[in-house]
């Protein structure tokens, strides 16, 4: 993990996202202690070795606290601070937070995702989460939003979202997107993960043209 972070920094990454819990649909759950044991040594080692800021990818308030104490300066929460104590923790830590949209929970989210209108539903979700954050004492200036490609979305939902991302700019917050090598890019291009760079780039260009400002990617260079 440390070597990979050094490579990403050299390639020009502006942030390195460190996570200890897989959100893949079939993934084995890990305990809080296991998640901490996976991320803390990496963050501690990186703080001394790299200059790029570190983002902590977690849904758990205890991991947010420990990671920020160890040197992380950004929270990436695929659960948009809906976890126990997460709002209060982010407010107390005063670091920027990425609120990602996910329908359902990782284990079952791909079973039967349903929306009236995927983009409108995500817009409404963010309106509600932004209000909850502000009510909890998190400054609006601290927030980034992310529609969560692949999280509780069918291939069609992902494509609809890809084409209409610009609608989320009305929320007037920076938009982050994670598209890199995802399953639905593989479905569109009929390619295995290692051969999805072209599809990932094509999708990223569409999103940047529609107002996305931050890209979460594997192929930083």
Closest among 58, 78, 79 to 68, alpha carbons compared? 58
Estimate the crossing angle of helix 32-49 against helix 61-70, to 10 degrees.
Answer: 20
Give the torsion through C-alpha atoms of 140, 76, 24, 179, to 10 deg.
Answer: 70
Tell me the sheet residues that pair with 57.
19, 76
For residue 148, state whether it binds ligand 8Y4 (rule: CB under 6 A).
Answer: yes
State which of residues 59, 129, 153, 216 lies at the interface with ligand 8Y4 (CB under 6 A).
Answer: 216
For residue 60, state whether it binds ligand 8Y4 (rule: CB under 6 A).
Answer: no
State which of residues 79, 149, 157, 158 lies at the interface with ligand 8Y4 (CB under 6 A).
Answer: 149
CA distance 218 to 200: 10
Tokens of 34: 């296991």
Catalytic residue of the set 59, 153, 196, 216:
216
C-beta separation of 178 from 200 below 8 A: no
CA distance 54 to 56: 7
* Catalytic-residue membership of 140: no
Closest among 111, 184, 112 to 147, alpha carbons compared? 184
State which of residues 15, 97, 146, 152 lies at the interface with ligand 8Y4 (CB under 6 A).
Answer: 146
Question: By beta-carbon distance, which residue lies closest to ligand 8Y4?
Answer: 178
For residue 96, state whether it binds ligand 8Y4 (rule: CB under 6 A).
Answer: no
For residue 21, state whether it binds ligand 8Y4 (rule: CB under 6 A).
Answer: no
Binding residues among 28-57 for ligand 8Y4 as defined by CB under 6 A: 57
* Catalytic-residue membership of 216: yes
Return the number of the residue (126 or 149) whose C-beta is nearest ligand 8Y4.
149
State which of residues 66, 176, 212, 215 lies at the interface with ligand 8Y4 (CB under 6 A).
Answer: 176
For residue 25, state whether it binds ligand 8Y4 (rule: CB under 6 A).
Answer: no
Estimate the crossing angle of helix 118-135 against helix 86-93, to 10 degrees.
Answer: 60
State which of residues 43, 78, 168, 217 lies at the interface with ligand 8Y4 (CB under 6 A).
Answer: 78
Give the shortest CB-88-to-ligand 8Y4 separation in angstroms. Answer: 21
Q: If you ran DSSP here, which 8-state letter would residue 24 be given?
A: S
Cα angle for residues 174, 169, 219 (degrees, 5° grid): 50
Q: Which residues bind ligand 8Y4 (CB under 6 A)?
A: 19, 23, 57, 76, 78, 98, 100, 146, 148-149, 176, 178, 181-182, 193, 216
């Amino acid at each position: 993990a440390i070597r990979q972070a050094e490579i990403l920094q050299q390639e020009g990454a502006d942030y390195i996202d460190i996570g200890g819990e897989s959100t893949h649909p079939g993934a084995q759950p890990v305990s809080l202690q296991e998640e901490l044991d996976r991320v803390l040594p990496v963050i501690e080692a990186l703080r001394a070795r790299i200059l790029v800021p570190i983002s902590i990818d977690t849904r758990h308030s205890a991991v947010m606290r420990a990671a920020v104490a160890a040197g992380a300066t950004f929270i990436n929460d695929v659960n948009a601070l809906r976890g126990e104590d997460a709002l209060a923790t982010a407010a107390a830590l005063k670091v920027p937070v990425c609120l990602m949209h996910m329908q359902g929970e990782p284990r079952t989210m791909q079973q039967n995702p349903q929306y009236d209108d995927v983009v409108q539903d995500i817009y409404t979700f963010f309106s509600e989460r932004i209000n909850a954050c502000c009510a909890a004492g998190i400054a609006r200036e601290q927030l980034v939003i992310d529609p969560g490609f692949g999280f509780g979305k069918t291939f069609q939902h992902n494509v609809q979202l890809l084409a209409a991302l610009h609608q989320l700019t009305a929320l007037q917050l920076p938009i982050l997107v994670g598209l890199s090598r995802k399953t639905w890019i593989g479905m569109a291009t009929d390619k295995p993960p290692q051969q999805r760079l072209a599809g990932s780039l094509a999708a990223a260009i569409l999103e940047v043209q529609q107002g996305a400002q931050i890209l979460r990617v594997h192929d930083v260079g």
